[in-house]
Amino acid sequence: QVRLVQSGAEVKKPGASVKVSCKASGYTFIAYYIHWVRQAPGQGLEWMGWINPHSGGTNLAQKFQGRVTMTRDTPISMAYMEVTRLRSDDTAIYYCAMGGAIKLNYWGQGTPVTVSS
Amino acid sequence: SSELTQDPVVSVALGQTVRITCQGDNLRTFSASWYQQKPGQAPVLVISDNNNRPSGIPDRFSGSSSRNTASLTITGAQAEDEADYYCNSRGSSGDHVVFGGGTKLTVL
């Protein structure tokens, strides 16, 4: 069965960076996009972007361009999402999800990231 | 504000039918998918491409779309259907993804 297992919770100071990992299994890794979606406390879902594991190409929401990097390591079916210059409003649960360009079929368990001085 | 608009709160009596809607100009051109999120859990895809139900999703969940509105219908709502529901589709730029603001469904 499809599984996406994410790295554990992080606590960071403002201005630092965080890198979240997502280990995929149960399907052909390069055949589906990996999306990243975040959810601030008590808020809705916010799409951040996707990476095409086959080509490495990315498509980021405009507000994250220049501050977010998405990468992958295909031999080990891992995807990564790094956010730099963290701010307090980056405090959120970060999810990876696999699917097509728009449809998100399966989601990881989420990685809480807290930004606090 | 989101390009996709959802009612923030909807309620339904146990066993009755409820429709949750998602409005946006993008939906005239692109299909919508629906996700269920229970407290403390990751979202789960319940309807894709307007009206396709993934395996394992109960058949009381169905979807439809007309003009600029996509709808998720739960026929015979159960207590376990109480959750937040989000729609998503392509954004106006065509290559981005957008989510609706979410609808909190209460089963009375």
pLDDT digits (tens, 9 = 90+) for B57-81: 999 999 999 999 999 999 999 999 9
**The pair of three-digit structure tokens given for residue A113, joined into one six-digit string:** 């990231």
DSSP state string for B58-87: -TTEEEEEETTEEEEEESS--GGG-EEEEE
Residue B1's pLDDT is 60
Summarised one tens digit per residue, pLDDT across range A22-63 is 999 999 999 999 999 999 999 999 999 999 999 999 999 999
Q: Answer yes or no: is pLDDT of A10 > 70.
A: yes
CB atoms B95 and A59 under 8 Å: yes
- Report yes or no: B86 at the A interface, CB cutoff 8 Å: yes
Q: Residues B105, B12: contact at Cβ < 8 Å?
A: yes
Give the nearest chain A residue to B55 (CA atoms).
Answer: A105
